[in-house]
Every structure is written in structure tokens, then in C-alpha cells.
Structure 1
């Protein structure tokens, strides 16, 4: 009796720890008013955030993360054409950015290309870039420690509803098959940026706000209570149709803006972030993948006032530049 009781306690503790580890955050640095790298690492640690995606690796960043026990997703996209066309460039990138820090920094994934569309000029470099980085990691004896992947966006899907009918657009199938053919044998996950906000703001007549914000009270006829799960399952369905049945999806970005577009507000952003955290922490999975933990990275740590693109891209912060919380959400 006592051993069963003790096992139950240990199991519950383990489940809570695993659930907490599902939460990460995206850390961009295109701003002229942001805290130092060390201050940022201290902020992450004080909030119990154990996983971080960084877009522009620098020695200062890696020095700050040394010994922090925070797992890092590192984007190599700024060098995509070089590492995709020249194995020596991939070796140089790994030897400069990863190998010198690998003993003291917990690298988890290297991301080769972020939201690259098959029609983009750089699309041709994604698959060979992943291969070249993988080979460079092997040469540095780091291939068992770090996984290589790429991050896609939902526009690659030509069919998303119902989720079971999810399918990649015709023009994306060959592109995705190459990626799958790399990920499966290397046992790497596919990374996907999933934003219910953009699905809602682009089709407000058919996408209820409460469905996008996790506040809908009942399931729809397809068995879904929130748009996040529906989008994730549509991506899983699309993968299965082209041979990616065994792949796990990591949600590499998801967030809600506080201003700049339809439905954007502090209240809605706070609701979305907290509800997403709570949903992911429970680890109940999705209707298609029940009990499959959903490793998810919130976008974003800070606003980046120098970030190019539309104005709305500058309004996803969870913390202010002075390190104070914007919403007071709980990560634990």
C-alpha cells in the first residue's frame, strides 16, 4: 500500500516536471532598448522558463547561457544560403557558434530556415542546409546531443478544415517530402509556427474569437474546443499523407499581439498566453494525438522596435524592456 502510494507521488511529481518543461519562449534581439544578455538569462531563470529559441546567435548570448541549464533552439537562417550551398560554411558555423559552447550550453535544436516558402529563392538551400549542419555536428561529435530541423508556417497547407483533411498545398509537397526524408531517419521533430491569431484575423466571419482564445465552452462538430489544436492536428494529418506518420511536431512559435490588428488587445493577448500555457502544461495532447506532450514556444519575450515588416510584428511581448511582466501570467 505504502509503496503504491509513494509511486503515485513520484509519478505526479514527474508529470508536473515534464509538463513544465513543455513551455519555452522566443527571444529576438532586434531592439535598441533591450536588457543585456545576462539580465535576460536571469529573467528567464527567475520565471522558471527552461527552454528558449534564439534567432541571432552571438558570443555574448552563449556566454550568458553558460551553466544556466536552459535548453536552446538556435536559428541558423541568417546563413541559410551559405550553409545550404557549401559544407565548409556549415562546418564553420557549427565550429564558431556551437562547438566552443557545447559543454556548458544545452543546445537542443538547430533550425535551418524559418517560415521558408517553396517559392522563395532560398528554399533550395533548406534540405541541403540541414544535411550539411547534421554532418558538421557529426564531425564535432555532437550529433547525438543536438537535433536539426526547420520551422514551417501554416501557409504551406492547402487544406486545414476539417483537421483530419489537412494536406499540404500541391506546390509544397515535394519541398516537404525532402524535409521529411531528412527528419525521419535522424529522429528529429518538425518545427511549426502556429498562430490562431492570424487564422482568426484573416477570417473573422468563420473563426469565433473564443475558439481562437481557448475560451470556447464546448467542442465543435469536429470534436475541437480550440483552434490551436485544430491547426496542429491539420499539420499532423498533412504529414501523414506524405509519409511523415512518425514525426512529432514542436510548436516553435505561437502568440497573440496586444495591438496593431483586429482582435489585438492586452486582454486578449493575456488570455491567449495564459490559456495556451495551461493547455500545454496539462499534456493532454490533441484529439488526434491524445497524451502527446506539446512542446511549445511562446512568441515573444520582448517587443523588437527595430524588427522589419508589418507594425503588428512589434507587439507580441510578454515582458517589457525593463524586465517587468506585461501581463503577469504564470509559467509554472
Structure 2
């Protein structure tokens, strides 16, 4: 999770009120997504967390059927064997350059995917997290994705395991109103080839969406209710579409940007969203409880631009992580304490 000044700036307009052939069987989006659309991110930047076996049991006990991890931790993969939890597996940003070599991508899949693929329900491989267009790693994202996809396809797993990357809204140059959403001039050479590749493979784009950071950027003008899904009426009107919450507005701006990038109808999975319970402005247990309850409720029915489409969403994060930073809030996004006590008594699915 990262917050950029550009991302906060993009939210300011809200203040005023012969390729790869894909068959139907290859699509990862199914009717079951609506029933089990909520996953949880399992970050491990802490020194006081329970064992991986305990974590998997905690997921089961709370009816959580999807997990995101940020690196191929083999202890976690072992714990997930024979579970019914679908896994979003991250490729760390520092590995992208190496994986732009096809042989390295093949070795990665042979080490971390194939030995577990009969027992672990891999859902997505996430090739990089929140890479910006001007990051050194940006040049390696698409080649690494292509190499990963080729290896997955060679193993005849392309209909089961998607290959994508996780972005943040700072790649948008315009986001207000949502119908004006577009990728920035600088970001387009980076992100447009990626989304066009995803259109060919049928895999979704992943996006980290945090209304919390929009609110704290200017709490005098962005209303807390708009960020928490509790506004009594529409805050933003955009033609026929009305917006009562910032989450939907940001997601619809991204959908519009994808249409303009030649990727109409591309599915977006919200790969992170959350609210801290301590450490900063509006970071309270009550606000976090309200946000998590409401986002779970709202993703069931889609956005104003794409109604009726359940949004596969991953809450950030399973536990408070005491070694994160630098902001204090980074340590307080957990749905559970490291002792596995629930903060919010949430019904996940």
C-alpha cells in the first residue's frame, strides 16, 4: 500500500460536491464471484503474527474464501494445501527485472506454482504492486506479465490462474466527474499496453482503492460520510449517474479510463481497500468498522456505471502489522489483532 501526492491531487475535483484467443471457459469471472466476492490481504510485516496454519484456520472460521499474499512464502503455500481458499499471489516489485527473462519466469512458476497447483487454488499472479509509470521497474511489468502468462499457458493453467498487475489511481490524469476518467499522458505509454494485453488474455486489472486517503487529504471539504458510504444523498452528479460514495466514483473513473484506453468491459478487481483504526485523522475503530461493513455491502451490486456486477474485493488487511510505516496508520489496518481477536465482528460473505 502506498499513497502518492498525485493520487491525493486527483481526488481534489471531488471536493466540489491475431492475438490470444479467449473462450468463455477461460474467463475467471463466474457466477460464484457474487457469493464469495470478499477476500482479505494477508500481509506479514510484523514480528508477532500467528502461524500460517492458524491464519488459514482463521480464514475458514470467518468464511473468508479468498486471500492475497505479497510474495510466494512457502510456509503459507503449505498451509493452504487442500483448503478451499483461493489465492492471489504477489510477485515482489524487486523481482520484476529478473522475471522479464523468460527462463527466470519459467523457473519461478516451476518453483512456486506447479508443485502446489493440484492442492492450492491459485486465482491470480500479481506481477508487481502499485508500480508508477516513472518507476525503474515500470519497464519490466509487461514483459514479466507476458512471460508469466506464457508459462502458465504452457502448463495448461491459463483458464485457472490469471496473470495481472495491481495499480493505484495515481495513473489517472483525470477522474472528475467519473465520466471524464482517463489515464494521464505520462502514464498511458505504461498502462495502455498492459490493459490491452489483459483484454487479449481475459484476465482482470487489479486496483488498490482507498477512500480513506482521499478524505484525510482535505477533511474540511471531502466529507467523512462520502468516504464511509454514509452520505444521505448523492454528492456528485454525472449525467444519469449519481454518486453517494467516493469508492464508486473512483472505480467508475477507472472504468471510463479503461474504455478510452481500448479496454471496454475489462473487469477490475479491487485488490486492496481498507480503513485504519488508529494512528491518524479519522482513524478510529468506529470509522473502520463502518467502512468495512459498508464496502462489503456495496460491492455486491456493482457501481453506477456497471450495476449488477459484484466487485471482487480484497480488504486490507488481516492483521495489524507492527513493523510497517512510516505513517503510524500503516500499522493499524488489521481486521484482527495479532492475537486473532476480531476488531469489528464482520460477516465477510
Aligned partner of 1:251 in structure 2 is: 270
Q: Are 2:252 and 1:233 equivalent residues in the alignment? A: yes
* Other-structure match for 1:9: none
The answer for the alignment partner of 1:297 in structure 2 is 314
Is the Cα–Cα contact under 8 Å of residues 23 and 298 in structure 1 kept in the other structure? Answer: yes
Name whichever structure is richer in helix by fraction. 1
CA contact (8 A) 1:28 1:56 kept: no
Q: Structure 1's 41 and 172: CA in aligned 2 closer, same or farther, altered over 3 A?
A: same
Hey, what's the Cα distance between the residues in 2 that align with 1:268 and 1:308? Answer: 21
Structure 2 CA distance for aligned equivalents of residues 252 and 209 of structure 1: 23
* Aligned-partner Cα distance in 1 for 2:340–2:279: 22
2:196 paired residue among 181, 184, 196: 181
Aligned residue pairs total 315
SS in 1 for 2:186: helix
Look up the SS of the partner of 2:167 in the other structure.
Answer: strand
Residue 46 of structure 2 is aligned with which of 25, 31, 42? 31
Aligned-partner SS, 1:99: coil
Unaligned ranges ≥5, structure 1: 1-13
> What is the RMSD computed on CA atoms of the aligned residues?
1.4
Q: Distance in 2 between matches of 1:87 and 1:310?
A: 37
2:20 maps to what in 1? none
What TM-score comes out, normalization by structure 2 length?
0.87
Alignment of 1:37-56 (within 5 A): 37-56=52-71
Measured at CA, do residues 183 and 257 of structure 1 come closer, stay the same or move farther in structure 2, by a change above 3 Å? same
C-alpha contact 2:226 2:235 (8 A) present in aligned 1? no
The separation in 2 between residues aligned to 1:230 and 1:293, in whole angstroms, is 16
Residue of 69, 72, 75 corresponding to 1:57: 72
Counterpart residue number, 1:81: 97
Q: State how far apart, in whole Å, the 2-side matches of 1:322 and 1:276 are.
A: 25
- C-alpha contact 1:147 1:188 (8 A) present in aligned 2: yes
CA distance in 2: counterparts of 1:308 and 1:204, whole angstroms: 22
Supply the distance in 2 between the matched residues of 1:58 and 1:284 (Cα, whole angstroms). Answer: 34
TM-score, L = length of structure 1:
0.92
Per-residue Cα deviation, 1:130-180 (whole angstroms, up to 9, x for no partner): 001111112322222101000000111111111111111111111111101
SS in 2 for 1:95: helix
Contact 1:130–1:148 at 8 Å: present in 2 too? yes
Per-residue deviation, 1:310: 2.6
Pairing 1:201-280 to 2, within 5 Å after superposition: 201-222=216-237, 223-280=242-299
| Residues 220-278 of structure 1: CA deviation (Å, up to 9, x unaligned) | 24111111100100100111111111201000000001122221111111110111111
SS at structure 1 position matched to 2:191 = helix
What are structure 2's unaligned runs of at least 5 residues?
1-29
Aligned to 1:99: 114
Identify which of 302, 305, 329 aligns with 1:288. Answer: 305
- SS of the residue corresponding to residue 150 of structure 1 reads strand
